[in-house]
Amino acid sequence: MPLPFKHLTSTKQLSREDTDSILEVCEKMEKVRSKGGSNLLEGKILANLFYEPSTRTNLSFATAMHRLEGKVITAVGMQFSSMYKGETIEDTMNVVGQYADIIAMRHPEKGSADIAASACPVPFINAGDGPNQHPTQGLLDILTIKKERGKLDGIHLTAVGDLKFGRTIHSVSFLLGLYDNVKFTLVSPKELPMPEKVTSFFKEKGIEYNETENLEDGLNADVIYMTRVQEERFENKDDFERLKLKYILKPEHVKDRDITVMHPLPRIGEIDTRVDELPNAAYFREVNNGVTLRMALLAMLLDKA
């Protein structure tokens, strides 16, 4: 089940049909994982290029490739790459594309994924380009919502925290917006609102959304998606210190509600650790779904699904 494109740089390039196809392959990959893996990608090589810090995404891609008997080569840290010497993204792609069959890259600059894909001779996956997009996180979040709530149509999602720089919530918003009768509540300080690129998409699609600064206004949703305030995106550190823990989700907020708690992680205090014990805390299950999703994408982009 191949995808109708060679590279994945943004969730905006996905249709509902594409997304449903990916979720269908995820079901197959869950069965593969339950058996310990398969040799589906034996002989294939993934290059993981991570020029910005990552734990989950980097290891998740590597785990996914290993589960399918592929191999992984890595480059971690801008200071250890030829980009540090001034090499362009395009040249890096042309070089690494001679070594690997598929490339996943995280880069701190917005738009870097599109530049990379334009020059990449092999399939390319955006693993996060600055504050812009994180399509594989968005897809694994959609997978998580479907598994936790049993549906995607009719979902009410509350997004909380740093909605301005939070590339994960941008990605999941575009994807969930492909489904019918969805609704969003956007909870953020006035300094960190959801950007116009997302709210204009909501308006274009006729999607209902409400913006508020009060966490309590968003607790009657199906899903509450917490995000950290990202220190690395702030020029003024005083602003970060003032805003970093404006919202803290506590057990009393959710323990008696039918609401699924999600977070792309890492957290820096915006979810009280006591919430971890509640059955509606889904963020560690969310991490597990990331391996399944990336197995599906690797197989589909390499025409092996």
Q: Is residue 6 part of a domain?
A: no
Boundaries of domain holding 115? 11-134+290-301
The pLDDT assigned to 133 comes to 87
Tokens of 255: 């323990």
The pLDDT assigned to 25 comes to 98
Beta-bridge mates of residue 106? 50
Distance, in Å, from the CA atom of 119 to the CA atom of 114, rounded to the nearest integer, reads: 9
Convert the pLDDT of each residue in 17-43 to its tens digit.
Answer: 999 999 999 999 999 999 999 999 999
Strands lying side by side in the sheet with 260-262: 208-212, 183-187, 156-160, 223-226, 260-262
Q: Is residue 5 part of a domain?
A: no
Catalytic residues, which ones?
A: 56-57, 85, 106, 134
Convert the pLDDT of each residue in 233-256 to its tens digit.
Answer: 666 677 777 777 889 999 999 999
What total number of domains does the chain contain? 2
Query: Residue 51's domain is classified under what CATH number?
Result: 3.40.50.1370
Residue 29 near residue 86 (C-beta atoms within 8 A): no
What b-and-e string marks burial along 15-40, b requiring 16 or more CB atoms within 10 Å of the CB?
eeebbebbbebbebbbebbeeebbeb
Convert the pLDDT of each residue in 198-209 to its tens digit.
Answer: 999 999 999 999
Distance, in Å, from the CA atom of 194 to the CA atom of 48, rounded to the nearest integer, reads: 30
